[in-house]
């Protein structure tokens, strides 16, 4: 059974002109899921207040066509975002998507996949002979809907054949079966977002457990994919070193069971480290949806930093970040001598 089962599906009339749009409409109608066709604007979610509307949107799948807008950049993980999916059904209280998708958190899947991939190939050609990296999860968790769309598998096969291109995406979901037989040629890196168990227990809902994520990670590693771990968001609290030390040991124990692993692609295991941060806009949404949250969001204890997309965020101070970087550098290097820490922010 898929990890995410939508409560309702909204299909743009334009999407019915594409095979994937027709397929998704027929699939959900067969299962008895309410399917509504709309013309222009996505219908608003029902509910008496913002919280009800938000939670309803999180259970809503929108099937639509993406117009030919320019791809956004995606620092520091890639050159460009690959816009095949937007949104995530998970209910992680700290989610960074609350900043730009918080008022419309439904999950959007774009059915004109071939057109989007062709546009991506144009970016690759324009940059040759320099390589071009695409990020498939900049504003989404695409694996949450992969069992319906097969979009990540299609993109993986596509980039395997395009000279100068590579692909990467991150997920908390475990619906990776459709990716295991794809001829990826080592050009797609799949990363899994993880955290220490105390943070998962306190702040994550509607997503697979850490154990399930690690099993999925090892399955794709056994299929020869380059893999990585995104440890995010990193919280600094009493005992944080012990909790994150246990997490790193769990990752090492799981990775030791892989028969082929990332070495099959000739690429090292990667780590990305992102400390907890929040924006004023996200905080406003979080406290409405999760009124009893214990997330640490006291602005007076943080440093204000300007982001690349025009909004400011509250981050840990420089001394705290230095301690975080030193700890993770030491522990990851010890547990994974050949790993590559891409960044720590």
In whole angstroms, give the CA distance from residue 65 to residue 186: 30
Q: 203 by DSSP, 3-state: which?
A: helix
For the beta carbon of residue 130, count every other beta carbon within 10 angstroms: 9
Answer whether 192's CB lies under 8 Å from 217's CB.
Answer: yes
Task: Decide: residue 208, CB within 10 A, 0-12 exposed, 13-18 middle, 19+ buried.
Answer: buried
Residues 6+ apart with CB under 8 A from 329: 341, 344
For the beta carbon of residue 75, count every other beta carbon within 10 angstroms: 9
pLDDT per 10-residue tile (average), the chain, 345 residues: 92 97 96 94 89 94 94 90 96 87 88 97 96 96 97 98 97 97 96 97 96 95 94 97 97 79 62 95 92 94 79 92 96 93 92
In whole angstroms, give the CA distance from residue 278 to residue 95: 9
Instruction: Give Cα separations from 290 to 93, 94, 97, 197, 315 (angstroms).
Output: 7, 10, 15, 20, 21
- What the block records as the tokens of 228 is 């990585």
Tabulate helix, strand, coil % of the chain (nearest 5). Answer: 40, 20, 40
Give me the torsion for CA of 313, 283, 56, 49, rounded to 10°: -140
The pLDDT of residue 256 is 84
DSSP string, 45-91: PP-SSHHHHHHHHTTEEEEE----PPPPEETTTEEEE--SEEB----
Nearest partner of 176 among 155, 211, 145, 207, judged by Cα? 145
Give me the domains of the chain, ranges plus CATH numbers: 8-344 (3.80.30.30)
């Amino acid at each position: 059974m898929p990890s995410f089962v939508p409560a309702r599906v909204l299909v743009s009339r334009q999407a019915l002109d594409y095979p994937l749009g027709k397929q998704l409409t027929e699939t959900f109608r067969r299962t008895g899921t309410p399917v509504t066709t709309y013309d222009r604007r996505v219908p608003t979610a029902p509910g008496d207040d913002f919280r009800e509307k938000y939670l309803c949107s999180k259970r809503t799948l929108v099937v639509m066509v993406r117009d030919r807008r320019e791809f956004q950049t995606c620092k520091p993980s890639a050159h460009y975002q690959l816009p095949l999916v937007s949104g995530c059904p998970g209910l992680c209280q700290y989610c960074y998507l609350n900043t730009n998708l918080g008022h419309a958190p439904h999950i959007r899947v774009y059915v004109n996949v071939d057109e989007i991939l062709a546009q991506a190939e144009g970016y690759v050609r324009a940059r040759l002979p320099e390589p071009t990296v695409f990020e498939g999860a900049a504003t989404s968790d695409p694996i949450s809907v992969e069992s319906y769309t097969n979009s990540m598998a299609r993109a993986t096969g596509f980039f395997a054949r395009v000279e100068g291109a590579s692909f990467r995406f991150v997920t908390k979901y475990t619906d990776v079966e459709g990716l295991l037989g794809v001829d990826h040629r080592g050009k797609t890196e799949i990363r899994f977002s993880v955290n220490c168990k105390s943070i998962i227990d306190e702040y994550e809902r509607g997503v697979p457990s850490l154990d399930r994520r690690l099993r999925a990670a090892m399955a794709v590693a056994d299929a020869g994919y380059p893999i990585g771990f995104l440890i995010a968001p990193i919280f600094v609290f009493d005992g944080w070193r012990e909790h994150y030390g246990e997490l790193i040991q769990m990752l090492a124990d799981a990775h030791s069971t892989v028969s082929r692993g990332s070495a099959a692609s000739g690429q090292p295991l990667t780590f990305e480290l992102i400390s907890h941060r929040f924006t004023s806009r996200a905080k406003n949404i979080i406290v409405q949806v999760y009124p009893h949250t214990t997330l640490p969001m006291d602005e007076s204890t943080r440093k204000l930093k300007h982001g690349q997309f025009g909004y400011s965020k509250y981050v840990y101070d420089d001394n705290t970040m230095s301690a975080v970087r030193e700890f993770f550098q030491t522990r990851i290097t010890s547990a994974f001598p050949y790993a590559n820490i891409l960044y720590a922010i």
